[in-house]
Amino acid sequence: MTRTTNIIHSTIPAPDGFSEFLHVLVEKWREVPASALNRMFSADLLALPDNEFLGIWQCLFENNCSSDGYSIRGWYHDLYADLANRNGRWIEIGSGLGYDGTFFAQQGASVTFLDIVADNLRVVERVCRLKGIDNVSFVHLDRFETIDALPTYDCLLAVGSLIHAPFKMMSAERRSLGDHLVPGGRWLELCYPRERWEREGGLPFDEWGRKTDGERTPWVEWYDIDKLKLSLYPHRFDTILSHNFHDNDFNWFDLVKRR
């Protein structure tokens, strides 16, 4: 069956300062997010031969998604495996090294990986090639207008990727991305809750990022369901799940776009 791809041309302009902040974020998020590989970058992974490369990636996946990592990532893999199997086009925003998108692609979803770091996308593309995952595509978000050329999707997944810049910037990005989610589509997002921010001293957001995600992190901001929906407005969503977990370290939002 042929599927029609609708291209949406957004009228949302790039927010002030977006390009400059994007460069700062690229410098941070080219880093492999794993303490066992201190200050290793995605470019370093790419330099390895296939067997070593895939072995390290698989170890990272298991650390993040099973065993101790199950309570952070693995649980929602199980929760949404069936959704991926029956709900076709997904996009992962800020896909990093692809732990989530590759899993959902293996369940049957057609997954677009979107990331601000080109080397991260090269890592995921290589993982998919070595694991025989071919229902995937890749988009480098090197400027705000890249979002305009995206097709529409049934599900949008953002795991901690839309909280690392100021609210005004991320609201513009969320609203532009929301143009590309079909009515009835799902918005799945992991954030950090206000409870964690308060527990960790209520720091200014440009300082809190260094506490949550390391010295090179320029920003992190808390969200609750009201703040997230405000960030998405004028798109309107109904709440399926709004849940703090892992001792209030994280919160999870599962929203459905109103028809």
Amino acid at 52: E
Identify whether 5 is part of a domain.
Answer: no
Contact 43, 30 (CB under 8 A): yes
Cβ atoms < 10 Å from Cβ of 145: 14
Residue 220's H or E segment, with its range, is: none
Identify whether 189 is part of a domain.
Answer: yes
Which residues have CB under 8 Å from 218's CB, separation 6+?
21, 24, 25, 28, 164, 165, 206, 209
Confidence check: pLDDT of 119 > 60: yes
**What is the domain count for the chain?**
1
Confidence check: pLDDT of 121 > 80: yes
Residue range(s) defining the domain that contains residue 89: 18-257
Identify whether 1 is part of a domain.
Answer: no
Confidence check: pLDDT of 34 > 70: no
Identify whether 151 is part of a domain.
Answer: yes
* Angstrom distances, CA of residue 87 to CA of 51, 114, 130, 161, 244: 33, 19, 25, 22, 25
Identify whether 200 is part of a domain.
Answer: yes
Confidence check: pLDDT of 242 > 50: yes
Identify whether 84 is part of a domain.
Answer: yes
Residue 12's pLDDT band (boundaries 50, 70, 90)?
confident
Q: Which of 56-70, 124-138, 167-181 shows the lowest mean pLDDT across its residues?
A: 56-70
Q: Which of 4-8, 122-126, 130-134 shows the lowest mean pLDDT across its residues?
A: 4-8
Identify whether 10 is part of a domain.
Answer: no
Give the CATH number, domain containing residue 132. Answer: 3.40.50.150
Identify whether 149 is part of a domain.
Answer: yes
Contact 205, 242 (CB under 8 A): no
Determine the 3-state secondary structure of 200 from DSSP: coil
